[in-house]
Amino acid sequence: MSWWCELAWLGGGAEQATAGVVIEASDGRITSVHAGVAAPPAGATRLDGLTIPGLANAHSHAFHRALRGRTRAGTGSFWTWRDQMYGIAQRLDPDAYFRLARATYAEMALAGITVVGEFHYVHHQPDGTPYADANAMGEALLAAAAEAGIRITLLDTCYLHGGLTADGYAPLADHQRRFGDRHADAWAARAAARCGAGSPTPMAVLGAAVHSVRAVDPASMAAVGAWATGRDAPLHIHLSEQPAENEACLAHHGRTPTELLHDAGLLGERLTAVHATHLTDADLGLLASTRSGVCLCPTTERDLADGIGPTGALAAAGVPLCLGSDSHAVIDPFEEARAVELDERLATLVRGTHPASALLTAATATGYSALGWDGGGVLAEGSPVDLTTVGLDSVRLAGTDADSALASVVFAATAADVTYVVVGGNVVVSDGAHASIDVAAELDASIRAVTGSAA
Ligand SMILES: [Zn+2]
C-alpha cells in the first residue's frame, strides 16, 4: 500500500510540514517514507491537505458521551455532574454499552483518532453482582473498538471505595456498586482472567488503572501497581482534578495525592496521571523526577470548572504530556491540543509556551506511548501505519499554505476537517465518512437507549 501526501508532518519537533511525501506500508507497518516527490507515483492513493500521524485519545469514558448537552447548562459542580453521570451508568448493560461505545469510537475515528485509552470501571451488574462473564462489559468495549476500526488500550480500573474524607474511606454507595471488585485481589483476579487469553487482537492492549486516591486506598493501589509492573502494562490514575480531593487526602493521609502515589510506588515511566490540575511544586518535582506522564483533558476540565493545570511548568520539567477527551463534552483532538496552549496564555499572560509541534506530539506519539503502543504516533519506517489527513479547503482553513499548515491545523482545524484515516493499514474514514458505520444515526439510537429520551 502507498500514499502520496501533498503535505505531511514528520515529527521530530518540525514546526513546518514537508511537501510531497510518499508513505509505503505492508502488514500494518510503515516500510518507507520519502519526501520531495512532486506527484503521486503509480498506484499511490493521493491525499490532499496535511497528513499527520494518527491521533491518540489517551483518556476516555465511553459512556459519558450520552451526557453531552444534558449536563452542560446551569450551575452545579463537578460533584453534581458526577451524580448525573452515575444515573447514565446505572442504565448500561453489555449490549447497550457495546452500541454506545461503538458509535462513540466511530465518532473518534471521524475526528482522526486512531487509538483510544478506555479508563473502564463499569464492571458489574447494577447491584455489584458480576455478570456470568465477569469481564462482559470490558469485552463489549473491545468489540466496540474493533468494529469502529480503531485501536484500544483497555485500562481495567480498580475502584473500591465510595469516597475519602478526613475520617477515611467510605463504603461504595448504591450507585457505585457496579464499579467495585470488593478488594484489590478480586480486581486482580478478574483482570488476570481476561489477560489469560492474551491480547484479544493486534489492535488491543490491556492495561490497568487506579480510579483515584478517593476510590482506592494506598495498599490496594500498590497491589494494582505491582500487577501492572508484572505485566509491563500501562498504568493510569485520576490525580488532583479537584481541590477537594487534595484536601481530603491531606486531612486523612497527611500528604498530597501525588505524595501518596509516590509512597505506594506508583510513580514512574509506566504511570500516566490524568488531569494533575492542582499540584504543589513538590508534586510537580516528584512527577518529573520519576519520569511519570500527565494526560491533560482541557475540554472536560473547563466544562467541569476544574481549573487550569500547570502545563507550562510540567513541560519545562520534562513531564511527557498527552491528551484525552475524558467526558466527551466534545470529541475534537485539535480543540484539546490548542486548549493546552490557549489556557496557558490566559493563566500566565504569556504566549507561545507550547509550540504547535509540541501540541501535536502530545496528541500523537506521547499518547501512543502512554497507552503502551511504543513507536506509534509517528510517520516513520517501522511504525504502525496509522495516519490522519486534514483537508485544508474548508472555510476554516482555506488560505493555508505549506509554511502555515501545521499552525493552521493545530490552532484552527476542527474534527470536521478530517477527511481520511488509516488504522493498521485499513482505511477507516474516507471523504470524511466512516467506512462501515452511520455514526450520527448510531449515536442517536444508542444514546436514546441509555437516556430514555424520545426520538
Ligand atoms: Zn476521567
Check whether residue 159 and residue 293 sit in a common domain.
yes
Question: Mean pLDDT, to the nearest integer, of 327-331?
Answer: 96
Residue type, 24: E
Question: Mean pLDDT, to the nearest integer, of 89-98?
Answer: 93
Question: CB of 130 within 8 A of CB of 124?
Answer: yes
Strands of 126-220, DSSP E: 151-158, 163-165, 168-170, 204-210
Tell me the per-residue pLDDT of 389-412, one tens digit each, with 9 for 90 and over: 999 999 999 999 999 999 999 999
CA distance 108 to 330: 10
Which grid coordinates are listed for 54? 494518527
| Residue 153 placed within a domain | yes
Check whether residue 101 and residue 195 sit in a common domain.
yes
| Residue 439 placed within a domain | no
End-to-end CA distance of the chain: 43
Question: Strand 271-275 relative to strand 293-296: parallel, antiparallel, unpaired?
Answer: parallel
Domain hosting residue 19, numbered range: 2-53+387-423
Checking if the pLDDT of 197 tops 60, the result is no
β-strand partners of 33: 23
Check whether residue 82 and residue 183 sit in a common domain.
yes
Question: CB of 119 within 8 A of CB of 209?
Answer: yes
| Ligand 1: centre distance to CA 406 (Å) | 29
Checking if the pLDDT of 455 tops 80, the result is no
Check whether residue 36 and residue 167 sit in a common domain.
no
What pLDDT sits at residue 13? 86
Q: Is 326 a catalytic residue?
A: yes
Q: Is 64 a catalytic residue?
A: no
| Residue 398 placed within a domain | yes
Check whether residue 185 and residue 299 sit in a common domain.
yes
CATH number for position 317: 3.20.20.140
| Residue 436 placed within a domain | no
Check whether residue 123 and residue 101 sit in a common domain.
yes
DSSP codes of every residue in 115-129 = EEEEEE---S-TTSP
Checking if the pLDDT of 196 tops 60, the result is no
User: Alpha carbon of 92 to those of 125, 136, 449: distances in Å?
Assistant: 9, 12, 9
Check whether residue 158 and residue 281 sit in a common domain.
yes
Check whether residue 201 and residue 269 sit in a common domain.
yes
Tell me the per-residue pLDDT of 408-438, one tens digit each, with 9 for 90 and over: 999 999 999 999 999 999 999 999 999 999 9
Question: Mean pLDDT, to the nearest integer, of 27-54?
Answer: 97
Burial state string for 97-124 with b = 16 or more CB within 10 A and e = fewer than 16: bbbbbbbbbbbbbbbbbbbbbbbbbbbb
Which grid coordinates are listed for 150? 480503531
| Residue 440 placed within a domain | no
| Ligand 1: centre distance to CA 216 (Å) | 15
| Residue 185 placed within a domain | yes
Number of H helices, E strands in the chain: 15, 18
| Ligand 1: centre distance to CA 310 (Å) | 18
| Ligand 1: centre distance to CA 1 (Å) | 37
CA distance 411 to 123: 38
The rounded radius of gyration (Å) of the Cα atoms in the chain is 21
Contacts of 291 (CB under 8 A, 6+ apart): 268, 269, 318, 320
pTM: 0.96
Which of 326, 343, 386, 417 is the catalytic position?
Answer: 326
What pLDDT sits at residue 12? 83
Better pLDDT: 271 or 79: 271
Check whether residue 261 and residue 113 sit in a common domain.
yes
Tell me the per-residue pLDDT of 210-239, one tens digit each, with 9 for 90 and over: 999 999 999 999 999 999 999 999 999 999
Show the DSSP H helices in 317-417 as ranges. Answer: 333-348, 356-363, 365-370, 405-412
Check whether residue 218 and residue 287 sit in a common domain.
yes
Check whether residue 68 and residue 147 sit in a common domain.
yes
What pLDDT sits at residue 408? 98
Show the DSSP H helices in 168-242 as ranges. Answer: 184-195, 218-230
| Residue 378 placed within a domain | no
Contacts of 216 (CB under 8 A, 6+ apart): 158, 159, 160, 161, 184, 210, 224
Question: CB of 332 within 8 A of CB of 360?
Answer: no
Which of 64, 123, 275, 354 is the catalytic position?
Answer: 275
| Residue 211 placed within a domain | yes
What pLDDT sits at residue 453? 79
| Ligand 1: centre distance to CA 161 (Å) | 16
Domains of the chain: total: 2
Confidence band of 454 (pLDDT split at 50, 70, 90): confident
What pLDDT sits at residue 92? 94
Checking if the pLDDT of 198 tops 60, the result is no
Tell me the per-residue pLDDT of 237-268, one tens digit each, with 9 for 90 and over: 999 999 999 999 999 999 999 999 999 999 99
